[in-house]
Structure 1
């Protein structure tokens, strides 16, 4: 059994014993929760209404609050909002009536950490409590370095605002919908939410929904039993169970077909999956993050994306700004990318001239950070003396592509014969390049410096080609 945060606490130190506040007007429910948490080694405070709960919170700082939604003098959402203002470090979870998903979503939007439905399942409750305690017992690295960039580099106001939002969302278990243009860094944002939250030690599973064939989607997401269909030679867990205890990131969620959207909605709401060929559901403990560059509200209006799924995954929306809105970050990002590329190529890093930096900062980057990476990687292979000049970037000439010509020497004396029928020109040319590079490497006994000279290109350009053609 995996250790909980309680396993690492010193039982001799009373300061390490966590405390939970239970707010419910039903004495039987308070007693059940009190007994369950006490058996987990957690001290409890109990309150029958909102007023008592506020009074107790003003005199103590519990590591967790569990509150019912319907209280004699108010509701759980009111208490959630009050705690967000007066005790923001206390995670609060709400107890909702069975099937009250709309109410649960309202509570998550108000800042609740998570929710549990009546009748309360004790296993689900324990998972929730342990996740909440991880937030309270983790080292306060976020407080000591509030602007640690992590994976989200930049000093602009936009990226600082994004990092601040990510830190706040990391403390919640609410589903987050990450919107933004292609190449803007939506997966990096999802990873930071995962790494800064209580699930950081669990798996982070990212899946491109548009890359899975529709006939395999159910098996890929939910798994299957051996023999459930032709080709199912072994049991398979699927993406949901692979992400158990961690985060499942659904990239390009708008590409899911309608039939799969229905099944995905049920799995998210019930926190359980049914593998293909199985007769029972298997509980899963995951946080779902999703993203797309498409306009989901428009797709909902068109009927190509289910409204109920949209509301379920879009509890909180987080917008990632395009690179053109944070031009001040371009130089920092460019230098970081060049350092990484140099490490991958095992070469010295290149420097950008002032002219190159100016051209990058004045460019709009329709492809965002991903386009910046591609531009710099190409420029890195073309520059002289480890210096990237403005002309090496190939900006402002109507295209971003750039080819590296290879002199095939004596190996290309034979006339070129084209294959019969239709052909894949790009693939055909790649195959020719692979043959030429292989021959040059074989002729030089795999001395890459000599092979590059034989091919009439730089060593760096050869490394670029080997990487792009998958020949490393």
Structure 2
């Protein structure tokens, strides 16, 4: 028997779906708003959620990450009376199982449920793969979904495209695919497509025979041949020159190539993992990237989330990096104050993990022989940006000034609501620590949160040092 949660402010829809779910032999619960849904999802592990988009207290699609925080998150079926193409695309990209527009038949609403439950049952019966992920830090839902994709990719020889912003760890995930492929003993060969010189790109990729061009005094194997039996990692594949893209397409199709100046083809049995921080679809539309090559690369796509969408991983990433830096600088792992972690949490990290790690190294160097990191050890430009943003936020959230002209000094609803939620959460976690006498295990149990999530929230509100 599966557990199903119906989240819709339309009472007849809730009652209809609850009755249909129970006739199918499953347990049905219902919520008319997101707050009720959050409470129910915190106390019960649901298998499937029916989720309306427009709810009295928020947007259903925007709430999906919070509703799907568990290690085995529920499948989400979007139901909406105001469907639109953009909403359907956003729901799909957010991981929704299906997108249903109301009104529709009961069969249209229940068939996706049967398929989603079948999928979950088959997924649970599949033998889990023990992944090697030494360098991949984090336990957020986004990283969990990426690791699931790594397991799928490693189970077969399919080509993989890893996409994500600069600094999200694309090469780490490419190496994880290589390391977890059964029987993988071949090399991991990296090609930085952005650094390939135009005049030598074919020679570097495919090799050359002696005398193929001026200076070719001996034959040399190219990077494609060097990857034989292993993985060829094309970093920043969007920078690959157009003339080479046509030749590389045949290499992917046949796993055969011809070195520069050679009369015969050679073969190389490699798995391709390509990575990019660029929009290849947009490049293709402009004629800067071949459509047929893009189709070939997108056999399996792994999309890495930016750091701002996996904030719960910030604490573990900081601790991991500080341990590395302590070993590298031969000075032991430095401690950190709650204010230090809170300052890191206030930044949006456009450079993602690479920026975070560079900032932490700067802080460790600034601290020199001091054992504890304070916000003062952070780069001054970062502290200045954080201070500026904090003052701007407070001004936006400030109450109306007495005597101010109409329409001046009044916060927007979004800013006011965000400040109210933050104030409420800070009071809650302060009382939680008092009620649990500072014991983190007790606090996790009372709050219904995983340790990593509790750690992140305590850091956000400067409560890590309270006992």
Partner of 1:391: 376
Query: In structure 2, how many angstroms separate the alpha carbons of the residues matched to 1:235 and 1:199?
Result: 30
CA offsets per residue over residues 71-110 of structure 1, 9 Å max, x none? xxxxxxxxxxxxxxxxxxxxxxxxxxxxxxxxxxxxxxxx
Does the Cα contact within 8 Å between 2:160 and 2:301 map onto a contact in 1?
yes
1:209 Cα deviation from its structure 2 partner = 0.3
The structure 1 residue matched to 2:303, chosen from 297, 319, 323, is: 319
Give the SS at the match of 2:262: coil
The structure 1 residue matched to 2:161, chosen from 165, 169, 177, is: 177
Give the SS at the match of 2:384: coil
1:342 Cα deviation from its structure 2 partner = 2.2
Give the SS at the match of 1:177: strand
Give the SS at the match of 1:379: helix
Partner of 2:146: 162
Partner of 2:366: 382
Q: Within 5 A, what are the aligned runs for 1:196-235?
A: 196-198=180-182, 200-235=184-219
Does the Cα contact within 8 Å between 1:147 and 1:160 map onto a contact in 2?
no
Query: In structure 1, how many angstroms separate the alpha carbons of the residues matched to 2:183 and 2:194?
Result: 26
Query: In structure 1, how many angstroms separate the alpha carbons of the residues matched to 2:332 and 2:264?
Result: 57
The structure 2 residue matched to 1:192, chosen from 150, 155, 176, is: 176
Query: In structure 1, how many angstroms separate the alpha carbons of the residues matched to 2:258 and 2:136?
Result: 36
Partner of 1:300: 284
CA RMSD of aligned residues (A): 1.8
Q: Within 5 A, what are the aligned runs for 1:17-416?
A: 146=130, 149-198=133-182, 200-383=184-367, 385-394=370-379, 395-398=382-385
Structure whose CA Rg is larger: 1
Query: In structure 2, how many angstroms separate the alpha carbons of the residues matched to 1:323 and 1:148?
Result: 22
Query: In structure 2, how many angstroms separate the alpha carbons of the residues matched to 1:144 and 1:291?
Result: 26
Q: Which runs of 5+ in 2 are unaligned?
A: 1-125, 387-467
Residues paired across the two proteins, number: 258
Give the SS at the match of 1:374: helix
CA offsets per residue over residues 141-189 of structure 1, 9 Å max, x none? x967747643221111111111111111111211111100000000001
Give the SS at the match of 1:249: strand
1:267 Cα deviation from its structure 2 partner = 1.0
Query: In structure 2, how many angstroms separate the alpha carbons of the residues matched to 1:304 and 1:379?
Result: 41
Does the Cα contact within 8 Å between 1:152 and 1:163 map onto a contact in 2?
no
CA offsets per residue over residues 305-361 of structure 1, 9 Å max, x none? 000111111111110010111111111111111221222222222222111111112
Does the Cα contact within 8 Å between 1:170 and 1:193 map onto a contact in 2?
yes
Compared CA separation, residues 377 and 296, structure 1 to 2 (3 A): same
Give the SS at the match of 1:214: coil
Does the Cα contact within 8 Å between 2:161 and 2:299 map onto a contact in 1?
yes
Partner of 1:135: none
Query: In structure 2, how many angstroms separate the alpha carbons of the residues matched to 1:245 and 1:153?
Result: 28
Compared CA separation, residues 199 and 321, structure 1 to 2 (3 A): farther
